[in-house]
Structure 1
Amino acid sequence: MKIKQYRTQFIKELSPFYDAYEAESFFYLILEDRHKLRQIDLALNHELAFEENDFAMWEELVNHLKNEVPIQYLLGKTHFYGLDFEVNENVLIPRPETEELVEWIINENASQEKSKKIKILDIGTGSGCIAISLAKNLPNAEVFGIDVSKKAIETAKRNAVRNNVDMTFMFLDILQTEEFTCQFDIIVSNPPYIRNLEKVEIKKNVLDYEPHLALFVEDNDALIFYRKIASLAKAGLKKNGKLYFEINQYLGKEMIELLENMDFKNIELRKDIYDNDRMLKGNV
């Protein structure tokens, strides 16, 4: 069968689950990953065809997509801030909003003198997407990433090698940590922040497949990670050091109050591309 014909069949088969644009994007992601063919290749050669033994693989992927398994997990990778990352069921799939947080940190700190080394700590590093993107784009930075999941740490280490960055990842339960062994210029975290009451807003592909450990907090203590990290940052940041958070869009006001009550300075709340309160910064 010609690939162009199969594309029409693929999109039609997924139409009860996804809109046509999304289904088509899945098709081209798989085509490039499994056959090293791009959309332009298909446009230039309408005669390109699949081999008979290709269809079993495609059918298996279609069945997974019908069950709303994220395409990133099926392919085992995703793109974030211009870099390629391995992702699996042990780590969250990086979001565009998190790229905005990385962009903010880079823009604010890239002008540092190249000779002046800065230390950065990423708490709850997951796939390592934040830490590795910062290490790649801030050559004067020494970057550390910590996580409570040993499997996430293993994934992050592979991603560091994949992206040719030299950095340190460590297993650490932040809620059980009393202090850091050194001070940092920047601490950044995208910790669990979705309350159980908000699960009704979460799509099946996230709720059923992404690690709940990295997503959810109890309704009665939604800021547990932020409070702990901010407390550690008071002593763990150097003078004028910066604390950056990705936050729950519904809790921007509460997050500002949290940092104000801990005497952080220059507190700034920013919205993401979807106009949601999503990023917060404070200085010690």
Structure 2
Amino acid sequence: MKTIKDVFDSFRKGLEAIYDTNETEALILLVINEVSNISKAKIKAFPELELTNEQTEQLKSILGELKTGKPVQYILGKTEFYGLPFNVNSSVLIPRPETEELVEWVLESVGSGELAAGSILDIGTGSGCIAISLKKNLHAFKVSAMDISIDALQTAAGNAKLNEVDILFVDDDILNLKSEYPKFEIIISNPPYVTMQDKTQMHTNVTDFEPHTALFVPERDPLIFYRAIADFALNNLNSNGLLFFEINENYGKETVELLANKGFNNIELRKDMSGRDRMIRCFLNMSAYCY
């Protein structure tokens, strides 16, 4: 039988060309914990523990997939976001920690604005991580979520059921809307924003496996989705409404200028945990709020 140490050794050797040492160690802990249900603390403390033949074969299969660059979240079929479980597959982006910061900013803004209830629209919902996390924490709000991908919407609907929240999912394209929408207190989006130039600097486990329609934008018009969503928000945000974006760190200034030119005010560009310009909050009308 293989021990935990044996698994660590084989994973380190198999993944050294793909991941750095810290990433590899985190992956090994994650998959052994998932397969064996042994706690990560115990995995670290008792490397001589033996794994069953079935567990060893399962880990061997996972290692084979990891060697191709396939993200571990897709291999396991799940991940965690804002403390909640989410099923993921190749039809949706893997939720990122930076997006958790965007969710936290919305919750902070609602709290300081003293909104007891209202309506939220998440544009380009993917796995539903933003919409579901907001609904889970803002019970009185009505939350809707839009996406162009039927497969993504099915995944998101399953995640809403998994997390026991009620969300209205809409099949629509923000660049070519086919439905009419009511007014919202909050509109939020993490739209496609990766350019072909950005792609050259990205890990292949993103570019080769995650859905391109949710990632990439034309080099000649990198703000195409921000422009469309801003125009939509001008007509579909209530007065005093809030608009939130996750953005391409290389286009922070340009995105702020776009929003200012369209008449949004009190525009705030915020850095993420890594010190990169990654989030924007702005208002349609500031009369009802003092921040």
TM (normalized to structure 2)?
0.92
Offset from partner CA, 1:33-62 (integer Å, 9 cap, x none)? 222111223356555312223333222211
Return the alpha-carbon distance in structure 1 between the equivalents of residues 179 and 265 of structure 2: 21
8 Å CA contact 1:110, 1:138 repeated in 2: no
Q: Structure 1 residue 183 and structure 2 residue 183: aligned? A: yes
Root-mean-square deviation (Å): 1.7
Return the alpha-carbon distance in structure 1 between the equivalents of residues 112 and 138 of structure 2: 9
1:249 maps to amino acid: E
Return the alpha-carbon distance in structure 1 between the equivalents of residues 57 and 47 of structure 2: 22
Partner of 2:288: none
Q: Unaligned 5+ residue runs, structure 1?
A: none
Return the alpha-carbon distance in structure 2 between the equivalents of residues 2 and 203 of structure 1: 31
Partner of 1:163: 163
CA offset at residue 272 of structure 1? 1.1
CA offset at residue 258 of structure 1? 0.7
Offset from partner CA, 1:106-145 (integer Å, 9 cap, x none)? 111035657x321000000000000011111112211110
Structure 1 window deviating more from structure 2 (241-250 vs 45-54): it is: 45-54
Question: Among the aligned pairs, what percent are the same residue?
Answer: 46
Secondary structure at 1:176's aligned position in 2? coil
Offset from partner CA, 1:73-93 (integer Å, 9 cap, x none)? 111111111111111100001
Partner of 2:252: 252
Map 1:183-262 → 2, pairs under 5 A: 183-262=183-262
Partner of 1:85: 86
TM (normalized to structure 1)?
0.94
Return the alpha-carbon distance in structure 2 between the equivalents of residues 276 and 2 of structure 1: 41
Return the alpha-carbon distance in structure 2 between the equivalents of residues 157 and 40 of structure 1: 34
Q: Structure 1 residue 6 and structure 2 residue 12: aligned? A: no
Secondary structure at 1:217's aligned position in 2? coil
Partner of 2:143: 143
Return the alpha-carbon distance in structure 1 between the equivalents of residues 246 and 44 of structure 2: 40
Return the alpha-carbon distance in structure 1 between the equivalents of residues 171 and 194 of structure 2: 23
2:281 maps to amino acid: K
Secondary structure at 1:166's aligned position in 2? coil
Return the alpha-carbon distance in structure 2 between the equivalents of residues 202 and 18 of structure 1: 13
CA offset at residue 2 of structure 1? 2.1
- Shift in CA distance, 195/42, structure 1 to aligned 2, threshold 3 Å: closer
Return the alpha-carbon distance in structure 2 between the equivalents of residues 88 and 64 of structure 1: 14
Return the alpha-carbon distance in structure 2 between the equivalents of residues 271 and 45 of structure 1: 40
Q: Structure 1 residue 35 and structure 2 residue 36: aligned? A: yes
Q: Unaligned 5+ residue runs, structure 2?
A: 285-291
8 Å CA contact 1:180, 1:236 repeated in 2: no
8 Å CA contact 1:269, 1:279 repeated in 2: yes
8 Å CA contact 1:124, 1:189 repeated in 2: yes
1:129 maps to amino acid: C
Map 1:45-84 → 2, pairs under 5 A: 45=46, 48-84=49-85
Secondary structure at 1:175's aligned position in 2? coil
- Shift in CA distance, 54/257, structure 1 to aligned 2, threshold 3 Å: same
CA offset at residue 175 of structure 1? 0.8
Partner of 1:16: 17
Partner of 2:289: none
Partner of 2:111: 110
Q: Structure 1 residue 97 and structure 2 residue 98: aligned? A: yes
2:31 maps to amino acid: I
8 Å CA contact 1:85, 1:127 repeated in 2: yes
Structure 1 window deviating more from structure 2 (251-260 vs 118-127): it is: 251-260
Return the alpha-carbon distance in structure 2 between the equivalents of residues 4 and 198 of structure 1: 38
8 Å CA contact 2:35, 2:55 repeated in 1: no
CA offset at residue 16 of structure 1? 2.7
Return the alpha-carbon distance in structure 2 between the equivalents of residues 249 and 113 of structure 1: 30
Return the alpha-carbon distance in structure 2 between the equivalents of residues 265 and 7 of structure 1: 53
Number of aligned residues: 283
8 Å CA contact 1:244, 1:282 repeated in 2: yes
- Shift in CA distance, 248/42, structure 1 to aligned 2, threshold 3 Å: closer
